[in-house]
Amino acid sequence: MGDHTDPEQNLRDFYVRYYVGHRGRYGHEYLEFEITNNGLLRYANNSNYKKEGMIKKEMFVNGIVLAEMKKIVLDSTILSQNDAGWPKADRSGRQELEVIIGDKHVSFTTFKIGTMAEIEATPDPAGLTVLHYVCQDLKALVLSLVGMHFKIKPV
């Protein structure tokens, strides 16, 4: 096993922020999370559909979880992508991913991806596919962590 789990040594400069949202009939609806190098995970989900409200959660994760997030990002090759040719945000919404690992800092903004067919119709389907899958992987991990951490009584 490698040295990934030492946050002091390997995760000193690590940050991820993801946002996906739109403004529509129910106002500004979005999902956003960020993970900082000290293990702080902030999660927000705002939906006014059926009079739902803002859900905000904060928690700390340990170095093993941070190392896994870093591994997801590095394995995805997202750090070598370029969003210059990606479709701009539109009425359907926007998607953003910002990552800092060491001295590498990338920030991507594009339209809200709904289907793989939408990705295939763009000038850079390979790059957008990388974005789509890294965001799905990070989102799945974050939603699992939030769900486990804040569940009061298993049903």
- pLDDT tens across 1-53, in order? 344 444 444 556 899 999 999 887 767 889 999 999 999 999 999 987 666 67
Separation CA 21–CA 32 (nearest Å): 8
Count the alpha carbons within 13 Å of 18 in the hemisphere toward its beta carbon: 22
Where do the domains of the chain lie, and which CATH numbers do they carry?
Answer: 7-149 (3.30.1560.10)
93 conformational bin, left if phi > 0, alpha if psi -120 to 50, beta if neither: left
Residue pLDDT, tens place only, 42-88: 999 998 766 667 889 999 999 999 999 999 999 999 999 999 999 99
Separation CA 142–CA 17 (nearest Å): 11
pLDDT of 109 > 80? The answer is: yes
